Structure formats: structure tokens, C-alpha cells
Amino acid sequence: MARMARLYLPGCSHHVIQRGNNRAPCFTQESDYRRYLEYLSAAAIHVGVAIHSFVLMTNHVHLLLTPKSAGDCGKMMQSLGRRYVRYFNDCYGRSGTLWEGRYKSTLIDSDNYFFTVSKYIELNPVRAKMVRHPGDYPWSSFHSNALGVPCDLLTPHDLYLGLGHCALERQHNYKALFESETAVEILDELRRATNRAWAFGSEEFKFRISSGVNRRPVSMGWGGDRRSQRKLGDERDQGVRSRCLTPCKESPII
């Protein structure tokens, strides 16, 4: 079966996740994190992808980025992946793959959800109970976006620049975003959209971009989960008919 084409729309940001194979660690010491960021920066500059937010977890990576043209994100991730896998395998005397298949990505409704995604990314270590505050975790963009620590890797999005007239004002207003919690339903929808490669945003956004993207931005509801549910229902019906035709010695555990 042919792979689903990745969604692309000029000017729209993407949420990207790359996981370690079998959820195995991708980073084991400080030098690994630094090398990954070095390769990411080089690949982003070479291809022309703007990185706005990131977090490097033990066994996966989250990125919020904006590519200049279709295919740029894929080129960046391919270059980054190859270089880092070569480094990691040489460093630890291993061979074979490091990543779990293709990276996952979703198109973001930037006007309404850009900061929701950025917060989601930078709060990953807090949700994982690795730290109590995002500023306590060293391998994320929170230090730059909220605290003003210089980071050559990052390119501020226009929405971030609109948070204030100067760097201190932008940092203050960005930190204020973390004072409120994002609804669980929104976070669940973001995860689903990223894993299934659909657009993440309002219904108006999805309708508005439907004529400009390279493929449908949302599921039509065919196959997938619905087909699985129908199959499960058929199996249950068959089980009921079977129990009606044969004596049952004891009640089944359901």
C-alpha cells in the first residue's frame, strides 16, 4: 500500500514527532543531546526550515517548525536522521535502525493553536514527571522562548514576535501562557492528528485549507477505526449466535 502523502500548506507550521525504535532510548548522555541539536540546526539551515520549539526526551523528539516548501521537512528529517544514527551507532558499537519508522507530523492551525502546540512540546518533561517546571529541563526551547537564553537553532515565529515590542516583553508574555492548563480534549486531539497525519485545528481552518493542501486534511471516516469497530461488532454477533446454538456450562468472562 502506498504511503499517505504528508500534508503541506505554504506558511503553515507542523508538529513533528520522532520516536526511538521500540521506544528505546535515543539519548543516553549529554553529548548525545548536543550532537542531535547540532545536526538538527545544520539540516534546518541547509534545507530552509524554521524551528520554533523543541524538546528532546529520552526516547523521542518533538518539534514545532515551518518549512518553506513541500518536501523540506522530509529532507531535513532524513538528513538529520542519517547523520545522528551514524553517530549513535559508532559511539555505542551498535548497528541497525534507531528510529521507529517514519516520523509523525500534523499541519497546525497556527492562528488558534500555535502556542498550544509550543506549550505541549515544552511541558513534555513535566507531564513525564521528570521535572516540576519546564525551566528545570535542559533540552527544550523553553529556555530561549521564555527565559531569553540564546539559541541559534530557533527562528521566532511571527506570532511569537507579536507577543511584545521587545525581547523581555515577549518572554514575559510567553511565560504567562503556562499559567493556564490546556484542556485534555485538545491535547488528545493533537496527539491523534499527529499520529494519523491529519490537520490539527478548528473546523473552519480545516474547511478553509481543504482546497489548498495536497490531499484531504481530515479523515472521511472510512476504514480504520470504523472498520475495526464494525468487524468487532460482527464477531460479537457471531459469538452470541454460537452461544445460542450450543449449551453453555458456565458464564463467559466479559
pLDDT of residue 227: 45
**Total-model pTM:** 0.82
Q: State the pLDDT at residue 213.
A: 65
162 domain residue, yes or no: yes
Counting the structural domains of the chain, the total is 2
Residue 32: CATH number of its domain: 3.30.70.1290
The three-state secondary structure class of 170 is: helix
**Same-domain check for residues 236 and 141:** no
Per-residue confidence band for 50, with pLDDT thresholds at 50, 70 and 90:
very high
CB 164 within 8 A of CB 170: yes
Conformation bin of residue 149: beta by default, left when phi > 0, alpha when psi is -120 to 50: beta
Higher pLDDT, 101 or 159: 159
Cβ-based neighbours of 157, under 8 Å, separated by 6 or more:
13, 50, 52, 66, 110, 114
Sign of CA dihedral 195, 196, 199, 203: negative
**What's the pLDDT at 7?**
73
Average confidence (pLDDT) over 1-30: 85
- Which of these ranges, 8-17, 40-49, 58-67, 231-240, has the smallest mean pLDDT? 231-240
Residue 208 has a pLDDT of 80
Residues 240 and 176 in one domain: no
Domain assignment present for residue 253? The answer is no
| Residues spanned by the domain of 161 | 14-209
The contacts of residue 1 (CB under 8 Å, 6+ apart) are none
> Is the model's pLDDT at 232 over the cut of 70?
no
What percent of the chain has pLDDT above 90? 68
pLDDT for residue 202: 87
87 within a domain of the structure (yes/no):
yes
Given a contact cutoff of 8 angstroms between Cβ atoms, the answer to whether 22 and 100 are in contact is yes
- Whether residues 121 and 236 share a domain: the answer is no
Same structural domain for residues 21 and 61? yes
Pairing of strands 104-107, 14-19: antiparallel
Q: Do 229 and 184 belong to one domain?
A: no
Q: Which grid coordinates are listed for 121?
A: 512540546
Question: What 3-state class would DSSP assign to 196?
Answer: helix
